[in-house]
Every structure is written in C-alpha cells, then in structure tokens.
Amino acid sequence: MKWDEVRKLYPGQFVKVEILESEIRGNKKYVTDVAVIKPISDKKEATQELINSKGDTVVYHTDNEEIVLEIKNIKGYRGIVQ
C-alpha cells in the first residue's frame, strides 16, 4: 500500500507498518510501499511499539507526507583486539 493511501485511511494518527519497498539516497531511506500492521491511537503505546520494532517494522505518524528514515552507520568492534 502506498503511504498516501495509508494517510487517507488513518488520518492524524500513528500506524505500525512493515516496509515492503524503499530506496536509499545518500544517508536516507525513502519508503515507497508499506503493509499496515495496526493503527495506534495512544502516544505511549506508539512509543513502546517503536522501541520494540525490529527489522523493517516502524511506527510513523500519518501527518508526515512521506516516510524518510535516516540511516546511521554505527561502527564498532566486538571482542578482544590483540
């Protein structure tokens, strides 16, 4: 489902979605197609759902004209360096 359609179906609220299609430009991921998992009316619940989200599942507010996610490249080392 396109984001414009989601915005019309669930105006002015948070929705939990799974990203189906996106494109990366620079350090941003522009989402073009999503599957709605559920609408969320409570801000606290939306925050909790976002914290628990994994992979391509995100919580976003339909007041936003498009879904744009910033990609952060976190570099680090695990284990022992000899």
Query: How many residues does this entry show for the chain?
Result: 82
- Asked if 40 and 14 count as a contact pair (C-beta separation under 8 A), the reply is yes
Is residue 26 assigned to a domain? yes
Is residue 56 assigned to a domain? yes
pLDDT band at 78 (very low <50, low <70, confident <90, very high): low
Query: What 3-state DSSP class applies to 74?
Result: coil
Is residue 75 assigned to a domain? no
Range of the domain at 52: 3-70
User: What's the pLDDT tens digit per position in 28-76?
Assistant: 999 999 999 999 999 999 999 999 999 899 999 999 999 999 988 767 6
Is residue 32 assigned to a domain? yes
The tokens describing 78, both together, are 């695990």
How many structural domains is the chain composed of? 1
